[in-house]
Amino acid sequence: MSDEPASLPTPDQISSAATGAAAAPAVIEARDLCSHYGSRQVLFDVNLTVQPGEIMVIMGHSGCGKTTLFRHLLGLKRQSGGSVRVLGEDLAQLARPDLYRLRKRLGVAFQNGALFSSLSVRENVELPLHEHTKLDLNTIRIMSRMKLNFMRLAEHEDLMPAQLSGGMLKRAGLARAVVMDPQLLFFDEPSAGLDPVSAAELDRLILDLRSAMRMSIVIITHELQSVFNIADRIMVMHGGRNLLTGTPDEIRASTDRRIVQMLNRSPHQEELDADSYLRTLTGEAE
Ligand SMILES: Nc1ncnc2c1ncn2[C@@H]1O[C@H](COP(=O)(O)OP(=O)(O)O)[C@@H](O)[C@H]1O
Ligand SMILES: [Mg+2]
């Protein structure tokens, strides 16, 4: 096929990129990023580079600053030090309208799908196209249908969110996040609260998304199985700092006590609070 891109990096290129040998411009470049809530510092000199086509997984204990890092990468929070470049733009230099334009090239999927409960699955997926484009209804329908097919939700498009299983909710959230064909997708805790089969299915979809749509993906997850299924590289955070960034093999080979502990804990051990535990039992979404 003529449009078979030469631009999608091979795993080799990605790992050479990880060692600094690649030429392609990074899609994310955070340098010495510092962040505060009020007077309390929560990120300390965080460095993160994500290459085009790369799946980067961010791991770390609850409260270590993963979601805050996401907020910076999305331009939702101003850093107190360092710099953040996303898709080549220095976020601190962008005027509001430019930031808004940049955000349209980013997809964000939230933990529980964050769908509007009064809209059907299809209406939820079409919403960004109605809000951010002037496309006609037919085109919007075609674009949402493609993504719903991709996420294996085509037969369920008329259901309301309350009628969906946990796995379907996440797939619907993901369909909505990618309906505008973002270059960069952010996903906070995709498999939290899913049974192993649905979690594995979601992992497969994330890998398919990268190869079909050639997007770079940054994922926060605690599910170790999932981490090693999908990551090209992993960034381990601890107490607002990045402890280590490397390939899954490099992370597995780490002798850092904190990383060894993280890799040896039983699944779910530290993230399940009483609420999410109950939701797991009842199969209820948030
Ligand atoms: N809106 C906020 N206001 C004040 N402190 C916050 C806010 N959001 C997060 N924090 C604090 O910042 C730290 C990092 O939080 P967060 O980025 O949510 O961690 P993670 O996503 O890794 O669990 C935590 O100590 C948390 O309590
Ligand atoms: Mg978080």
Q: Is the pLDDT of residue 27 over 90?
A: yes
- Least confident stretch, 59-68, 188-197, 207-216, 271-280: 271-280
Measure Cα distances from 222 to 54, 97, 140, 168, 252 in Å.
19, 35, 35, 20, 15
Question: Which residues sit with Cβ closer than 5 angstroms to ligand 2, an ion?
Answer: 67
Is the per-residue pLDDT at 180 higher than 80? yes
Ligand 1 near 63 CB (within 6 A)? yes
| Among 118, 105, 124, 57, residue whose Cα is nearest residue 262 | 57
- At residue 159, the 3 state secondary structure works out as coil
What's the average model confidence in pLDDT over 166-180? 92
Torsion sign across C-alpha atoms 37, 270, 234, 104: negative
Q: How far is CA 137 from CA 129, 132, 141, 152, 176, in A?
A: 9, 13, 6, 22, 16
Whether residue 173 has pLDDT greater than 70: yes
Atom of ligand 1 nearest to the CA of 38: 4
User: Residue 190: what pLDDT?
Assistant: 77
Q: Bigger pLDDT: 194 or 72?
A: 72
| Per-residue pLDDT, 23 | 64
86-115 mean pLDDT: 90
Ligand that comes closest to the CA of residue 36: 1
Instruction: Identify the CATH homologous superfamily for domain 21-105+184-282.
Output: P-loop containing nucleotide triphosphate hydrolases (3.40.50.300)
Query: Whose CA is closest to 219, among 197, 243, 203, 242?
Result: 203
Residues of the chain with CATH 3.40.50.300: 21-105+184-282
Q: Ligand 1, residues 37, 71, 72: which to mutate, most atoms within 8 A of Cβ?
A: 37
Q: Is the pLDDT of residue 268 over 80?
A: no
User: Does ligand 1 have an atom closer than 6 angstroms to the CB of 76?
Assistant: no
Average pLDDT over residues 153-182: 93
Model confidence, pTM:
0.84
Nearest listed ligand to the Cα of residue 192: 2
